[in-house]
Structure 1
């Protein structure tokens, strides 16, 4: 089942002083991280602190989630064990270093209960994962994909920049689209380059990504401005849908542009995203 798209923010699990800001920010999804941003010595404390991230009584805000360590590691096993004991469990679980559908099945087998079936996202960050994307997206419990540029660039030896990573990004959004899953892009790691952040967000949106993740609250305005439908886009989409419905499904001209079924489908999808991004009550 597809999970949430839009703007994501990732907060280190060993920094609970940052939790209130993450849980009340303008992102669509807020993840507490138990993996790369947490030093090995701090991981036990981060697992314990993460409980407060999910039990925060705030009624509205981003959908909360967690990035565990790889389930193929001892830290990942400890993370999953800790999650099973939480009285309030995260709606979203991000699984790093996914390289096969089996990785998703293992986490689902540990976490799923009759009362709890979280959205499981696969973090794609290795060449083997990109090669195996067609089988990964067919996992029964997968809800979406995230791209991890830092690890992918390190593994391949390429530069963490647009052109060297274009093939992997294209493969990811293609496989996600085939399976009807949202694809969320990697964070932009240069915190002082607002123009570069905005440009990359626009590029990945044009490529087909449904959202982008952030590592600092200061990045949220730029990414949100790119991925949240504007009033003008919403008005144009409504006009397109209305014209198509009045034309009985025939190809129609809207504002000087020929509009057929693919354009109408895109307009309906934009209106659905706009509806999803409307203010709403969110339960942790």
Structure 2
């Protein structure tokens, strides 16, 4: 008898077929584009917060001529309420990017504006305001949306707060709620879910813990801002040897048992546990390595 078929919920490539480590790169630093693309699974070329007002035009010109693999490149434009967005979209029209991220997304109308200007582009909606988090479900249902992401700092700003984290580095409850709400909205509609950046570059233990939690919770990728964070994120999303061995052993036992619930190593196994095993087995399959980074 063949092994039980992997359920559709286990397919992590539903909408955004990128790897787990996505790195932001300022749009006005074309000297870094190739290095970021080589180190990470995908590069997020930023026209928004990573670029100062005086450098927006130069950033648009550089991003419009980036020459990177379009299948591994996302362009973050300015927010729908920004006067900069029209110029961003005009600059990107000849490029025809495959993926565009819209920050501070708060409604389907925000997504419509991107879809109308850049037809065929997959939209990554960054729900990072109070309105955006509350609208995450309707935004995720938009046919142009391929992924949702969230962000803590802009969320706290939209709430008139002053800090997204406690003194020990852990998120405040309202931020944890927003993170969960965006994850649930994305996965309920079959979209990828991207976890937010960890801004404290000295907190390596914090990067690791948050990336491990993201992978275990159902996020499909984590964004980062420094090359040193990439291997940490990749390791977090890759099952440990023990987890991979457990998944293979359990799936073999399921094949032998046939259908229905069964006991394995003293534990009752049913559909949800098998789905966990399928996910771990899929993640443990070798993936192509990106090319080595160019000399710094």
* Separation in structure 2 between the aligned mates of residue 105 and residue 245 of structure 1, nearest angstrom: 46
* Separation in structure 2 between the aligned mates of residue 171 and residue 128 of structure 1, nearest angstrom: 12
1:68 positional shift: 0.9
Instruction: State the TM-score, normalizing by the size of structure 2.
Output: 0.83
Which structure 2 segments of 5+ residues have no match? 1-13, 166-170, 292-296
* Separation in structure 2 between the aligned mates of residue 281 and residue 21 of structure 1, nearest angstrom: 11
* Separation in structure 1 between the aligned mates of residue 36 and residue 290 of structure 2, nearest angstrom: 16
Contact 1:4–1:29 (Cα < 8 Å) also in 2: no
Q: What is the aligned partner in structure 2 of residue 16 from structure 1?
A: 30
| Greater fraction of residues in helix | 1
1:90 positional shift: 3.0
Q: Please state if 1:152 is matched with 2:155.
A: yes
Residue range with higher mean Cα deviation, 151-160 or 118-127? 151-160
Identify if the C-alpha distance between structure 1 residues 9 and 235 changes in structure 2 by more than 3 Å, giving closer, same or farther. Answer: same
Q: What is the aligned partner in structure 2 of residue 47 from structure 1?
A: 60
Q: What is the aligned partner in structure 1 of residue 79 from structure 2?
A: 70
* Separation in structure 1 between the aligned mates of residue 115 and residue 259 of structure 2, nearest angstrom: 41
Q: What is the aligned partner in structure 2 of residue 208 from structure 1?
A: 218
1:281 positional shift: 8.3
Identify if the C-alpha distance between structure 1 residues 145 and 253 changes in structure 2 by more than 3 Å, giving closer, same or farther. Answer: same
Instruction: State the TM-score, normalizing by the size of structure 1.
Output: 0.87
1:172 positional shift: 1.2
Contact 1:249–1:261 (Cα < 8 Å) also in 2: no
Q: Please state if 1:84 is matched with 2:84.
A: no
Which structure 1 segments of 5+ residues have no match? none
- Give the 3-state SS of the residue equivalent to 1:180 in structure 2: coil
1:224 positional shift: 1.6
Q: What is the aligned partner in structure 2 of residue 129 from structure 1?
A: 132
* Separation in structure 2 between the aligned mates of residue 250 and residue 220 of structure 1, nearest angstrom: 40
* Separation in structure 1 between the aligned mates of residue 75 and residue 150 of structure 2, nearest angstrom: 16
- Give the 3-state SS of the residue equivalent to 2:255 in structure 1: helix
